[in-house]
Amino acid sequence: MKPILSLVLIAAVAAYGPAHAQFAKAEDAVKYRKSALFVMQQNFGRVAGMAGGKIPFDAKVAADSAAVAEYVSRLPWTAFGEGTDKGDTRAKPEIWKERAKFDEYAEKMQAEMVKLSAAAKTGNLDSIKAAVNATGGSCKTCHDAFRKE
Ligand code: ASC
């Protein structure tokens, strides 16, 4: 193989190689995505609690929490690589059979998180409530299809 071609291949594998290649073990990928989803849920749940009147509304805390949830919403997806369907996970095998649908739901949720974070920055509780409902709906759509009870 020509050296230039090997370099191109190495770069391609580094950039687009199997998603699980960045994890030493499938077990680590499962732990990583569950950790990210947990951090996201804790932050989203705080904002949702304020929107639902269960937690006193604090605009700064809501904006900070929504911003963290938005950022963290980008993280779980690289950890759903091939071979990570086993172990301590509620992920359904359908994720790896209906990948386009799974990706679509994941992207929809991220888009809703962006809107939620924007709403939280305005400090307007009605906008936050609407965005919380839309975001929560996008969590549920994916869970109904792809998460074991
Ligand atoms: C949460 C959480 C979810 C979603 C979902 C919304 O806080 O843990 O899975 O919101 O319940 O319907």
Which strand (E) or helix (H) includes residue 117?
A: helix 99-122
User: What local confidence, expressed as pLDDT, does residue 6 receive?
Assistant: 58
Smallest CA separation from ligand 1 atom 3, residue = 139
The string of pLDDT tens digits covering residues 61-97 is 999 999 999 999 999 999 999 999 999 999 999 999 9
The string of pLDDT tens digits covering residues 95-121 is 999 999 999 999 999 999 999 999 999
User: What local confidence, expressed as pLDDT, does residue 22 receive?
Assistant: 86
Residue 19: pLDDT over 50: no
Report how far ligand 1's centroid is from the alpha carbon of 83 (Å): 26
Q: How many CB atoms sit inside 10 A of residue 27's CB?
A: 14
Tell me which of 108, 138, 140, 148 to substitute to probe ligand 1's pocket, judged by most ligand atoms within 8 Å of the beta carbon: 140
Smallest CA separation from ligand 1 atom 6, residue = 136
Dihedral of the alpha carbons of 130, 132, 138, 142, in degrees to the nearest 10: -150
Residue 43: pLDDT over 70: yes
| Long-range contacts at 36-40 (CB < 8 A, ≥ 24 apart) | 36/72, 36/75, 36/76, 36/79, 37/76, 39/68, 39/72, 40/68, 40/69, 40/72, 40/73, 40/75, 40/76
User: What local confidence, expressed as pLDDT, does residue 112 receive?
Assistant: 98
Least confident of 5-14, 39-48, 68-77: 5-14
Mean pLDDT estimate for the chain: 91
Residue 17: pLDDT over 60: no
This prediction's pTM: 0.86
Q: Cα separation of 95 and 38, whole Å? A: 19
